[in-house]
Amino acid sequence: MPDTSARRSDSFSVRSLERGLDILALLNRHNGLTVTETAEQVKLPRPTAFRLLRTLERLGYIFRDDADKKYRLTAQVRSLSHGYDQEEWLPKIARPIMVEVCKKILWPLTIVTNMGSQMLVRDSTHDISPFAMWRHRGGFTIPLLHTAAGQVYLAFCPKDIRQALIDQALSEDPNSLARHGTTMQTFQRGLERIAAEGFAAIKVPDQNHCAVSVPVMVNGEIFAVMSVSFYPTAMSLKQAADTFAGPLKEAAQRLGKELAAWRAERAAGDKD
């Protein structure tokens, strides 16, 4: 629990906001907490803790697991650190690796993170690839359910988070699966196959290009997704998988190790 005893009183501060942020920080250190457990940790009446949890749930930052009645963080929490992370890990760690791989395979790479029912393109090498499909490097979203990056993220994130994200996406677009000619059962089988093979290779919906994507795992948890884009006229999905999956996996593993070391170094610095 954050140390709130040293906080200076401020007539302009919003106490409920402070408490909500305290709860997010608390849940970040626990694998779920009930309303009662949360109230005890933050030293608030149970009704107050309940209202704060429900507010955070409505905003999409947490969800209530019906299996054990505990509240847990959703991947949307990562969007809060987008600007900070971008200043650190993208240019210093991810970008050099992406540029190195792009120069070898020539086709453009992207690094993508989750943002609720969307995937956020954080950076790309479209600016240096001879096969660039656009000239902007990142800062835009792509669908979660029907892109290679989104399906890789779903395949490798915890099952409870996966279902919460799928439910969120379908609540926003209930006909999404049917419109793309699939069912929930078929979609889930596809995620299982991706988890087993370690990559996804699909045509991007409503676009003239395809993508091969792999997970970037940090300390056993998915942190981001690395993808390469290509035109279907240049090669088939199988040819692309045979060509790109290996180099992408190697790059993602290297990135994951360097990110883990960066996190550890940052955590050590916070303690000093």
Average pLDDT over the chain reads 88
Kindly state the greatest CA–CA separation across the chain.
64
Domain count, the chain: 2
Encode pLDDT of 202-259 as tens digits. Answer: 998 778 899 999 999 999 999 999 999 999 999 999 999 999 999 999 999 999 999 9
- Do 68 and 86 lie in one domain? The reply is no
Q: How far is the CA of 9 from the CAs of 14, 41, 97, in angstroms?
A: 11, 21, 46
Task: For the chain, give the number of residues.
Answer: 272
Residue 152 to residue 149: CA distance in whole angstroms: 5
Average pLDDT, integer, range 135-163: 91
Residues 30 and 125 in one domain: no
CATH code of residue 62:
1.10.10.10
Position 70 pLDDT exceeds 80? yes
Query: What pLDDT was estimated at residue 124?
Result: 93
Average pLDDT of the residues in 96-118: 95
Q: In what order do the strands lie in the sheet with 221-230?
A: 140-143, 118-124, 109-115, 221-230, 210-218, 200-203
DSSP, residue by residue, the chain? ----TTPPP-TT--HHHHHHHHHHHHHHTSS-B-HHHHHHHHT--HHHHHHHHHHHHHTTSEEEETTTTEEEE-GGGGGGGHHHHHHHHIIIIIHHHHHHHHHHH-S-EEEEEEETTEEEEEEESTTT-TT-S-S--S-EEEESTTSHHHHHHHHHS-HHHHHHHHHHHHHH-TTHHHHTT--HHHHHHHHHHHHHHT-EEEEPTTSS-EEEEEEEEETTEEEEEEEEEE-TTT--HHHHHHHHHHHHHHHHHHHHHHHHHHHHHHHHHHH-
Among residues 47, 73, 99, which one ends one of the domains? 73
Distance of alpha carbon 64 from alpha carbon 75, whole angstroms: 14
Does residue 7 lie in a domain region? Answer: no
Q: How far is Cα 9 from Cα 4, in angstroms, rounded to an integer?
A: 11
Q: What is the mean pLDDT of residues 57-63?
A: 89
For residues 40 and 87, membership in a common domain is answered with no
Give the number of other CB atoms < 10 A from CB of residue 144.
24
CATH number at residue 86: 3.30.450.40
Task: Specify whether 143 is located in the same domain as 24.
Answer: no
Task: Please say if the pLDDT value at position 6 is more than 50.
Answer: no
Q: Which domain holds residue 25?
A: 15-73
**Domain match, 252 and 169 both:** yes
Q: What is the pLDDT of residues 87-99, one digit of tens each?
A: 578 888 999 999 9
Per the listing, tokens 């501060």 go with 13
Q: CA torsion angle for 41, 47, 48, 53 (degrees, to 10)?
A: 70
